[in-house]
Structure 1
């Protein structure tokens, strides 16, 4: 049974068709279960103590502190980790919801949000694994560790000139020491870029900031706003001395990568303005079989015309006029589409372009 009801005169997925939540849940049920398992795995690793036994110097033989960059005082976080995670989800979710004033598609709303969650959860699990197995010293490590090191008194140093110690010399709070040994990579940065970079891609796709039309300047500002937010969240970690610059950079790279993949897994393109607003189809899953696909009545690679629901939020630049698919760089796939349409004698008819169809 398709996600939307069909009849002979109605293209599946057009506005007015009936969205079936039960079918959507069956189609995405495996993903929902996988995300729940990944979230539980990430939380378990996050709560686990650091896996490696890290060695570190404290003083040179003349009593000078070896790494003063790890001797900053422990400060209160400017943005707590829970706040960074909430911002990374709620801000994109707010825009997904606002844009539904124009989109008016429950499938679009749910599937786009699921793409965001895929980015956030994948990035979170990736970074907690690195924290657990690699980690590193936070800038306030010495202040939290409060090492008690005295010459010729146990515990004795190891390594060359006996300069190296492990956490056995620490006299501070155990939980704070555990946390201060897991600096790399930054969880704040990872969450911020996984969520807000996904939002920037979504704004670009829906408002066609980068397209064949010179769009309004406010759209560019709106697209860069989440990137500014992610940068500020990341940068705040170096102000309150909770992370080193390379921890922040690594988190930003992880979050950006998961956002790119999650967005492309959800939509037909990342930067190709003709298709990056179009949801990719999900026709079958472990919990749902499409009878039309099984019977050979549909192709797993659906085609559709530019229906109302297949349009982005913007109407600027001719979107909705039926000419969207003809805009593109010389020599790209647009040439093939022009040739196909000219050959059919349907110059003024909306082109068929790959789209969201299960039928959605």
Structure 2
């Protein structure tokens, strides 16, 4: 998915016709409040730091492995969908005319080619999908380990973690950052509101789908354990419940004296 999105990003976008008097694309080109690279780094580094730290504390290679897979695959799926739509839709950014620098005699844009092409890739917002794909994963992960979204599940820990409100707030904090990133894109006149909304939904959906592949539903009472290979036999003793269990093939005879 990452490789495919990289290919799509390098392809020229659809060149949509425009009206030079359209007020929706006649805003001044402004600097970003938060750059794309910084958004990418924060949306990856913060969730990884949190999940890997807890995985090391629990001495669980499976948790670290599944956290990396869930986050990276979610980010990849979000990136693929975003780049595909950007190129196929070719919607003009709110500051497109400023980037274009239209020449009446040439009847063409004379602005910097890279900026002009990027000005044709407004829908959906890449910043929003990136921020929400990373922060939604972290929000789901926090909700699962604290039971924030399953109020009937008790939570171990001190007085603060036993507070339902504190757990709920902690699980929603990552989404505050993602929301700020999305809003900043409209304030900077880099995206229309529809671009930001759809980009955010793409990030949320991608993160949720890939999270549930590797981790249990945060609304359930099931323990927060990384999912193992499915199909463990019910008569096979495992460390985890059958749904999340795994089985190591025996090296002994058919009676199973070498089976764990």
TM-score of the aligned structures, taking structure 1 as reference length: 0.62
- Is the counterpart of residue 104 in structure 1 residue 83 in structure 2? no
Alpha-carbon distance, 1:272 to partner: 1.1
- Residue 281 (str. 1) matches residue 228 (str. 2): yes
Partner-residue secondary structure (3-state), 2:7: helix
Q: Does 1:258 align with 2:221?
A: no
Deviations 1:127-179 (A, max 9, x none): 00111111201010010111233xxx674xxxxxxxxxxxxx21211111000
| Cα separation, 2, equivalents of 1:55 and 1:355 | 53
Question: In structure 2, the residue corresponding to 1:354 is in which secondary structure?
Answer: helix
Q: How many equivalent residue pairs?
A: 239
Is contact 1:210-1:273 (8 Å) kept?
no
Specify every segment of 5 or more residues in structure 2 that has no aligned partner in the other structure, as ranges. 155-161, 249-259
Larger Cα Rg: Structure 1 or Structure 2? 1
Q: Do residues 177 (structure 1) and 125 (structure 2) align?
A: no
Query: Displacement, 1:306?
Result: 9.1
Distance 1:251 1:259, change over 3 A: same
Q: Which residue of 1 aligns with 2:42?
A: 87
1:356–1:248 CA distance, 2 compared to 1 (3 A): farther
CA–CA distance in structure 1, aligned partners of residues 238 and 50 of structure 2: 23
Evaluate the alpha carbon distance shift between residue 356 and residue 187 of structure 1 in structure 2; reply closer, same or farther with a 3 A threshold.
farther
| Rounded Cα–Cα distance in structure 1 between residues aligned with 2:237 and 2:225 | 12
- Pick aligned residue for 2:149 from 210, 217, 235: 210
Distance 1:144 1:254, change over 3 A: same
What are the within-5 Å matches in structure 2 for residues 34-183 of structure 1? 38-50=1-13, 52-58=14-20, 65=21, 67-100=22-55, 102-149=57-104, 155=107, 169-183=108-122
8 Å CA contact retained: 1:49, 1:132: yes
Deviations 1:289-333 (A, max 9, x none): xxxxxxxxxxx24558895xx5xxxxxxxxxxxxxxxxxxxxxxx
Work out whether residues 73 and 210 of structure 2, in 8 Å CA contact, stay in contact via their aligned partners in 1. yes
The answer to whether the 8 A contact 1:302-1:355 is kept is: no
Matched, 1:187 2:126: yes
Measured in 2, the distance between the counterparts of 1:179 and 1:121 equals: 20
Paired residue secondary structure (2:103): coil
Partners of 1:210 and 1:196 in 2: CA distance? 16
Query: What is the CA deviation profile of residues 247-290 of structure 1, one whole-angstrom value per residue up to 9, with x for unaligned ones?
Result: 11111111111111101111232421324x2322236xxxxxxx
Q: Secondary structure at the match of 1:56?
A: coil
Using the TM superposition, give the Cα deviation of residue 98 of structure 1 relative to its aligned residue in structure 2, in angstroms: 2.5
Q: Distance in 2 between matches of 1:244 and 1:358?
A: 51
Tell me, in whole angstroms, the C-alpha distance in 2 between the residues paired with 1:125 and 1:117: 12
Deviation per CA, 1:60-112, whole angstroms, max 9, x where unpaired?
A: xxxxx3x2121111111111111111111111001102222542201211112
Structure 1: which 5+ runs fail to align? 1-37, 59-64, 156-168, 284-299, 311-351
TM-score of the superposed pair, with normalisation by structure 2 = 0.84
Structure 1 position 55, deviation (Å): 0.8
Counterpart CA distance in 1 for 2:233 and 2:93 is 51
**CA distance, structure 2, for counterparts of residue 101 and residue 221 of structure 1:** 25
